[in-house]
Chains A and B, each alone.
Chain A
Amino acid sequence: MKVLITAPFSESGLKLLQDAGLEVQHESWLETGKLYLGDKLLPVIKEGGFDIVIVEGDEVKEEVIDGANLRVIASARDNPNNVSISAATAKNIPVIGAPGRNTIAVAELTITLMLSQARRIVTADRLLKNDFMVDDYSDFARMYMTTTGFELHGRTVGIIGLGKIGHEVAKRLQAFGVEIIVFDPYVPQERLNEVDAKQVSLEELLRNSDIVTVHCPPTDETKGMLGAEQFGMMKKSAIFINTARASITDEYALRQALESGTIAGAGLDVFSMEPVDCDNEFLELENVIVTPHIGGNTVDTIERQSMMIARDIGAILKGDRPENVLNPEVLKKEET
């Protein structure tokens, strides 16, 4: 059987697939710079005679699934919206995901953004790179004034959404001696206890946090959850961090809040317009750190997603149950 991999994939993952007797063609989009949308992947699959595809952002929807004879579809994502699970299920094709592949990476980036904002790391770096010269002691004083930060110790951090990533963020924050408050209507008390956190209302969280960090999923319920009214509730000195999804905030209101000094600053990794480039409007604001959706972008994430997917494909080939199948009903059909 032949496997086409357009997702980033580690050497150890490739070896696992090869050891399972698969013929592997790895064309990571990071190297080809290609993104297959619509039916563009179909001729590639058909001409190459591929039985299995492993994608990251490429679309594997009805037109591809109906036109090809795939045995397995895998996506190196938590919850792939680029694969039509219903179309795959209709053809009895298991769809494999990679949940949690980037949990630690995103949690660590979140902490990085918090510390960078609290200690004004990017401000200091920008200052020095912009021909800052100390000709007088007053220049030195100005530099110190510009870069005066605050310690996390003793501060209150509000976490919106205590799912996998929010929980990992909370675990790491415990080391800094912060008070953790959480808004998550679905979290059990036990999970809060694990990170010594207190459940509060959204308003209470916004009014009392020195740092607010968002970790809830993009759903109809969370869409636009944080707008002008909510930013208005936050402390003027507060920092806002979003490494989850842009749709949770009203981006225009966020920009207004940052421009007007309603809140002190932000660390943002997600935007309504991606891929992010130099035209990103938040780059115009000195009090914002912009990163181009790199939350999960670590070698460790690639290694994790590769091994998760390779193991699951191996399991399917052996007739075992894969761990991360997104349409388990397909396996039930095979078992019966």
Chain B
Amino acid sequence: MTKDEILAQLKELGTRFEDPKIQRRFKDFHKTLQFIFPDIDAQMYMKIGDAELVELAEGIVEAEMTVTMDSTVFLKIMDKSESPMAAYQAGKLKTKGEVPDLLKLQKLML
């Protein structure tokens, strides 16, 4: 998987903010989510502001949440063939951040 493909998938993830359930959950939520994909040596970040995708770009920034996984795992999560929780339990997805933020993240990713 290339960096461009990952960015496209993350943009797709950003469209999930249009879902009223996601909007309600991310209301007044202003945080940055860092993605690290070790297998393709890529780092992307997503700034979320009040249930909207404010910025999506390549690079490393100061973030409240960090998710590390191979791009193949990310792809499986995006096409719903693997749940984020199962990937986490299998050690294929690692997270850093506060539990309430990670719970929100799970809702966004599934």
Interface residues of A (CB under 8 A from B): 34-35, 37-38, 81, 246-247, 252, 272-275, 279
In the complex, are the beta carbons of B21 and A274 less than 8 A apart? no
Main secondary structure of the interface of B (DSSP, over half): helix
Q: Which of A35, A38, A279 has the most CB of B within 10 A?
A: A279
Question: Which residues of B lie under 8 Å from residue A246 when comparing CB positions?
Answer: 83
Render B74-96 as a binary contact track against A, CB cut-off 8 A, 1 for contact.
00000010011110010000011
In the complex, are the beta carbons of B102 and A273 less than 8 A apart? no
Question: Which residues of A lie under 8 Å from residue B1 when comparing CB positions?
Answer: none
Render B1-45 as a binary contact track against A, CB cut-off 8 A, 1 for contact.
000000000000000000001000100000000000000000000
Q: Which of A37, A38, A81, A246 has the most CB of B within 10 A?
A: A37
Render B92-107 as a binary contact track against A, CB cut-off 8 A, 1 for contact.
0001100100110011
In the complex, are the beta carbons of B106 and A273 less than 8 A apart? yes
**Looking at chain B, what size class is its interface with the partner chain?**
10 to 19
| Interface residue B110 (Cβ < 8 Å from any Cβ of A) | yes
What are 27 residue pairs bridging A and B, where the CB atoms are less than 8 Å apart in the complex?
A: A34-B99, A35-B99, A37-B95, A37-B99, A37-B102, A38-B95, A38-B96, A81-B89, A246-B83, A247-B83, A247-B86, A252-B80, A272-B83, A272-B85, A272-B86, A272-B110, A273-B83, A273-B84, A273-B85, A273-B106, A273-B107, A273-B110, A274-B85, A275-B103, A279-B21, A279-B25, A279-B107
Question: Which residues of B lie under 8 Å from residue A275 when comparing CB positions?
Answer: 103
Given A273-B85, A273-B106, 5 more A-B residue pairs with CB atoms under 8 Å apart are: A35-B99, A247-B83, A272-B86, A272-B110, A274-B85
Give the shortest distance, in Å, between A282 (CB) and chain B (any CB).
13
Question: Which residues of A lie under 8 Å from residue B86 when comparing CB positions?
Answer: 247, 272
Find the A residue at minimum CB distance from B89. A81
Question: Which residues of B lie under 8 Å from residue A247 when comparing CB positions?
Answer: 83, 86
Give the shortest distance, in Å, between A256 (CB) and chain B (any CB).
13
Question: Which residues of B lie under 8 Å from residue A279 when comparing CB positions?
Answer: 21, 25, 107
A35 to B101, CA, bound (A): 12
A137 to B26, CA, bound (A): 48
A275 to B99, CA, bound (A): 12
Question: Which residues of B lie under 8 Å from residue A81 when comparing CB positions?
Answer: 89
A34 to B110, CA, bound (A): 23
Question: Which residues of B lie under 8 Å from residue A37 when comparing CB positions?
Answer: 95, 99, 102
A274 to B110, CA, bound (A): 11
Give the shortest distance, in Å, between A226 (CB) and chain B (any CB).
15
A220 to B59, CA, bound (A): 35
Question: Which residues of B lie under 8 Å from residue A38 when comparing CB positions?
Answer: 95-96
A247 to B80, CA, bound (A): 12
Find the B residue at minimum CB distance from A246. B83
